[in-house]
Amino acid sequence: MPVTRRHGRGRNDGCWTCKLRRKKCDEVQPTCGDCDSLEITCVYGLKPRWMETEEKQRQKATLLKKEIKNKAALRREKLNTSTNQDAQEDTIHQFNIIPDIVVSKDPSSIDVVGSVLPNEHASASTSISTFATISAPFPFSLLPSDLQYHHYSHTVEPLSPIEADFISKYIDFVFPALFPFYRPSLFDTGRSWLRQLLGKSHIAHHAALSISCYFFTMALVDMEGTSGEHANCRLLRWDEVEQHTQNCFDNLRTSMIALDLNTQGIGEIARVEALENIVHLLIFEMALCKATPWNSHLPPAYALLSEIMACDRSSHEIHRQSKMTSVLLGIELPLWTNPADGTHIWSPAQAGFRFCAALLIFIDIMASIALQESPTLLPYHAELLAERDDGISLPSDAEIHLSTIIGCRNGIMRSIAETSMLDTWKKEQVATDSLNVMDLVDRASHIAQSLKSDVFEYQNGNITRSVPDSRALGPLDIASNTLASSKSTLIWAHAAQLYLTVVVSGWQLSNPDIRTNVAQIIALLEDVPPYQLRALVWPICVAGCLALEEEEPFFLRLFAGLGKVHTAGALDDARQIMEKVWRRRGMLGTTNWDLASCFSILGSPILLV
């Protein structure tokens, strides 16, 4: 029950947020009326750090203005896309401070952001909303000197003890929680590429600190609720999330503009690091919330990957290497090459590229479903992905095994990508009134056969690579075996069959294939450990949206036992999507509703990764 504190004449006991904004506060606690209406954090109690100096107050005020502006835009969007009843039911995400970044390969049309231009009257954190669009040709020589001499290998300044602690938390706890199937073996370079990146990239450094502070705050909430003795600690961590997020985007703009306009002399290492930076930004957005402009950040990542893959790799034909091996060797020399058979132990930069390329392929496929477009990176699947993925990636492997990163094997992901292409083709045919149903069924038949064969193979355990155990497992490796991703891959396979059935037959909950696959997913999810659920958010959401009323309790129980550390981000979005689809179950048409409609039901397309 809100409590209003009354004060005598001359006293000012309003919240610190209203004091900073120089607004009259009604002193309702725990959240005053002004902060509640604007959906911003209302701070009572001890004086926050951002009130200590005039400069800190000015920076915090700028952040608040940006947040208020974004929240207002979000409210307008919800008003335009939802009914009044739905708008009341929506859960407002409290973290929405991520701006769009516009990157163009055409210097004449590039958007130069004010935060990267020198301004003696504004700090990096206070000029982020200033955009100056340059319509005339913009040569690199006209850029400020700090951009002309920008390099990607600047070392991050020495860390304070608290920053060092949260970077360690990110590497030891947060990153493994986000990618539970990514467990490099003892003989791999492990996550050394991540540690190296965080030590030299301001973008990845601030992104990692933001995510780490965020999860630390969620862990405190799980431990003691929204009040308790650590309330001030949580507020402090939120301030740090905002500040590191701001720094992350300031540095990203600087780096992307420098790379965009000064391509001469840019080596492969610089491109790889730029790719790692943008992928880390995407990881940041994946981890936090749905209200992020993820779609605007994919094109620069796709462009960088294409540039790295498009460089001259004729040596792979001369030396009879795979294209991916040639690409990796073009980045830099490996750590070691076996003189007997020519196999390699990849360097941190090469290992980082393999991880980022794998994650981009995965994100691209999931984004194509939400946006109803064909996967952009489909032409690179044959070169990047191993032809066969059996759940193990050897240290010398060049091609990617998605099972060891996202928990779903390559064959199933290829089938999902092909189904997305089929869905795009079908919508184009329907739009021109030229759809041939027999043609649709014929195109779908080979995808269905491939999925059926994969499911049979995984269910019968025929998934072991015929290599000696001494090569597959190191003496200190943990859980590096062929069964680590078999159950999760089966869940993905049944979700892929659901997707294909909806594309071919429409939204029919009574369809026997739909009922069988939903039941199979429910049975498999019974024994999945909580820490793996984040990696299964897309199959969970697909099955949940197609669930019958009597199956709803299972999915509610699945989320009920999880704390905010596990559900923050995509899992919470999936829960909201499913619940809203359930409420509309009787109104969904067979032909005008599909998975993309589900993923947009909260107001904008959600990237469930």
SS3 345: strand
DSSP letter, residue 188: S
Q: Is 451 in contact with 497 (CB distance < 8 Å)? A: yes
- State CA 212 to chain mean position distance: 15
The one-letter amino acid at 279 = V
Four-residue CA torsion sign, 337, 338, 341, 343: negative
Instruction: Compute how many other C-beta atoms are within 10 angstroms of the C-beta atom of residue 100.
Output: 12
What is the residue whose two structure tokens read 């209203």?
A: 18
Q: Is 353 in contact with 328 (CB distance < 8 Å)? A: yes
Q: Dig out the tokens for 303 from the structure.
A: 């462009």
DSSP letter, residue 475: T
Question: What is the structure's pLDDT at 575?
Answer: 92
Q: Is 233 in contact with 305 (CB distance < 8 Å)? A: no
Q: Dig out the tokens for 287 from the structure.
A: 């981890």
DSSP string, 511-554: -HHHHHHHHHHHHHHTT--GGGGGGGHHHHHHHHHT--GGGHHH
Question: What is the structure's pLDDT at 480?
Answer: 47
CA 393, CA 181: separation in Å to the nearest integer?
Answer: 12
CA 190, CA 75: separation in Å to the nearest integer?
Answer: 44
Four-residue CA torsion sign, 205, 208, 214, 216: negative
Four-residue CA torsion sign, 397, 400, 401, 406: positive
Domain ranges of the chain: 16-75, 160-462+479-608
Question: What is the structure's pLDDT at 71?
Answer: 75
Give the closest residue to 606 by CA, choosing from 91, 103, 179: 91
Preceding peptide of 30 cis, ω within 30°:
yes
CA 429, CA 415: separation in Å to the nearest integer?
Answer: 21
CA 403, CA 69: separation in Å to the nearest integer?
Answer: 41
Helices 552-560 & 570-583, crossing angle to 10 degrees? Answer: 150
Instruction: Compute how many other C-beta atoms are within 10 angstroms of the C-beta atom of residue 529.
Output: 7
SS3 385: strand
DSSP string, 39-70: T-----SSPPGGGSSHHHHHHHHHHHHHHHHH
Q: Is 211 in contact with 174 (CB distance < 8 Å)? A: yes
CA 141, CA 137: separation in Å to the nearest integer?
Answer: 11
Q: Is 50 in contact with 235 (CB distance < 8 Å)? A: no
H-helix segments, 380-409: 381-384
CA 23, CA 522: separation in Å to the nearest integer?
Answer: 52
Give the closest residue to 490 by CA, choosing from 460, 512, 449: 460
DSSP string, 250-266: HHHHHHHHHHHH--TT-
Question: What is the structure's pLDDT at 29?
Answer: 83
What is the residue whose two structure tokens read 């941190």?
A: 348
CA 329, CA 332: separation in Å to the nearest integer?
Answer: 6
Give the C-alpha distances (Å, rounded to integers) separating 247 from 128, 207, 241, 259, 417: 10, 9, 10, 18, 35
DSSP string, 346-378: --HHHHHHHHHHHHHHHHHHHHHHHHT---TTG
Question: What is the structure's pLDDT at 394?
Answer: 85
Q: Dig out the tokens for 161 from the structure.
A: 């003890």
CA 489, CA 302: separation in Å to the nearest integer?
Answer: 26
Question: What is the structure's pLDDT at 493?
Answer: 96
CATH for 16-75, options being 2.60.40, 1.10.3470, 4.10.240, 1.10.3210? 4.10.240
What is the residue whose two structure tokens read 């203005």?
A: 65
DSSP letter, residue 97: -
Q: Dig out the tokens for 269 from the structure.
A: 């290492």
Helices 231-261 & 54-81, crossing angle to 10 degrees? Answer: 80
Strands (E), 109-233: 111-113, 131-133
CA dihedral of 107, 109, 113, 114, whole degrees rounded to 10? 100
For 3, the enclosing helix (H) or strand (E) is strand 3-4
Q: Dig out the tokens for 472 from the structure.
A: 């597959």
DSSP letter, residue 462: -
CA 519, CA 497: separation in Å to the nearest integer?
Answer: 12
Give the closest residue to 524 by CA, choosing from 484, 559, 489: 489
Averages of pLDDT over each 10 residues, the chain, 609 residues: 43 79 83 83 88 88 82 60 38 37 34 32 30 31 38 63 87 92 82 89 82 80 60 59 59 53 62 87 76 72 90 58 91 89 89 95 96 94 93 89 94 97 95 93 95 87 46 49 77 97 95 96 92 94 96 92 79 92 89 92 88
Give the C-alpha distances (Å, rounded to integers) separating 416 from 171, 445, 487, 494: 31, 13, 17, 11
Cβ burial 8-30 (10 Å sphere, 16+ → b, else e)? eeeeeebbbbbbbbeeebbbbeb
Query: Model pTM?
Result: 0.72
SS3 29: strand
Give the C-alpha distances (Å, rounded to integers) separating 44 from 137, 202, 281: 51, 32, 32
